[in-house]
């Protein structure tokens, strides 16, 4: 009888202890390697407060807010370096202001640990470890052009090419030039999208007088097929103006009337300047490293480390 009890104990409890031990090992959090002592002054829009956050912790929060956690590690590392470069540039710009960045798409989306723990629940440790790994493996790294930190713009999905910055933001930055990005079509669901809007809403959003018949004439496209200017019922618009007013995914669009509705097809998602995130994912899947991804999207740049 005693042997039976001991055997039962062994069969039931030993696997329990093994599972518990393995689970404990797996749930240990990776810690950030704080090499620099830089902080970022982040304006939290919901709270209307300004928080001072260590740079590398901020980058983890930006990775969580700006790139899906399931992305390949090399894409996440590329995003970490781009995000660090972007915020270092904002720190330069805003040294005389109360804060460096806001926590929204106006700059970079930042999500703090409290939010992530609530959102990720049981997946928190696994997810945060992946992001911290990407940050630790690129610690202190940022992009420079002619030894100056770059304005590392990025966006979701290209239409097959990124766009020249001067055609979107009226800036002249030699490292933000159009490059091919053919990986997006395979990686992003947003590569081709279709939406329908009522003709009435369409005219209202563009501040046009209602007409039963819609006439669209493309006046000028960029070399990447994005619309620079067009006429809608003989009124001239910039492509970016229609993109913003209608809330379109891209300036590579076409629109046709269908009865009392307008059907709009877009290719790509976002302003198109800098690194395509889904292009970075495709490159990572194809075996490119994060530095190769960055050099592809940010022409003529090199990686540098923060001096401590």
pLDDT tens string 209-245: 999 999 999 999 999 999 999 999 999 999 999 999 9
Instruction: Name the region of 200 (left: φ>0; alpha: ψ -120 to 50; beta: rest).
Output: alpha
pLDDT at 36: 80
pLDDT at 24: 46
Residue ranges of domains in the chain: 39-154+272-305, 192-267
Spatial separation of the C-alpha atoms in residues 249 and 301, rounded to whole Å = 28
What tokens appear for 114 in the block? 């409290």
pLDDT tens string 101-146: 999 999 999 999 999 999 999 999 999 999 999 999 999 999 999 9
Q: Token pair 């369409």 is at which residue?
A: 202
pLDDT at 15: 52
pLDDT at 26: 56
Contact 106, 86 (CB under 8 A): no
Q: Is the dihedral of CA 81, 87, 92, 95 positive or negative?
A: negative
pLDDT at 73: 98
Instruction: Name the region of 173 (left: φ>0; alpha: ψ -120 to 50; beta: rest).
Output: beta
Element (H, E) at 52: strand 49-54
Spatial separation of the C-alpha atoms in residues 271 and 251, rounded to whole Å = 8
pLDDT less than 50: residues of the chain: 1-2, 5-9, 12-14, 17-24
pLDDT at 245: 97
């Amino acid at each position: 009888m005693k042997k039976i009890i001991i055997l039962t104990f062994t069969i039931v409890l030993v696997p329990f202890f093994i599972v518990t031990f393995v689970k404990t090992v797996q749930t240990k959090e990776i810690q950030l390697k704080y090499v620099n002592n830089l902080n970022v002054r982040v304006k939290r829009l919901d709270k209307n407060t300004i928080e001072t956050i260590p740079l590398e912790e901020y980058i983890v929060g930006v990775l969580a807010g700006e790139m899906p956690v399931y992305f390949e590690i090399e894409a996440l590392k590329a995003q970490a370096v781009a995000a660090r470069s972007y915020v270092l540039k904002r720190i330069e710009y805003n040294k005389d202001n109360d804060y460096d960045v806001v926590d929204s798409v106006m700059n970079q989306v930042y999500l703090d640990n409290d939010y992530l723990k609530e959102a990720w629940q049981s997946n928190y440790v696994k997810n945060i470890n992946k992001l911290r790994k990407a940050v630790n493996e690129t610690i202190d790294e940022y992009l420079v052009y002619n030894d100056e930190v770059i304005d590392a713009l990025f966006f979701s999905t290209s239409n097959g090419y990124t766009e020249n910055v001067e055609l979107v933001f009226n800036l002249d930055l030699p490292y933000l030039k159009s490059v091919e990005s053919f990986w997006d079509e395979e990686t992003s669901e947003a590569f081709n999208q279709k939406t329908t809007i009522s003709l009435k809403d369409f005219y209202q959003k563009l501040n046009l007088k209602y007409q039963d018949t819609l006439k669209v004439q493309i006046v000028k496209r960029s070399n990447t097929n994005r619309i620079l200017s067009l006429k809608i019922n003989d009124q001239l618009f910039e492509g970016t103006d229609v993109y913003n007013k209608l809330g379109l995914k891209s300036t590579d669009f076409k629109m046709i009337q269908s009865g009392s509705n307008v059907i709009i097809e877009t290719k790509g998602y976002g302003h198109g300047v800098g690194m395509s995130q889904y292009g970075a994912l495709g490159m990572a899947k194809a075996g490119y490293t994060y530095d190769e991804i960055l050099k592809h999207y940010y022409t003529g740049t090199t990686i540098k480390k923060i001096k401590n």
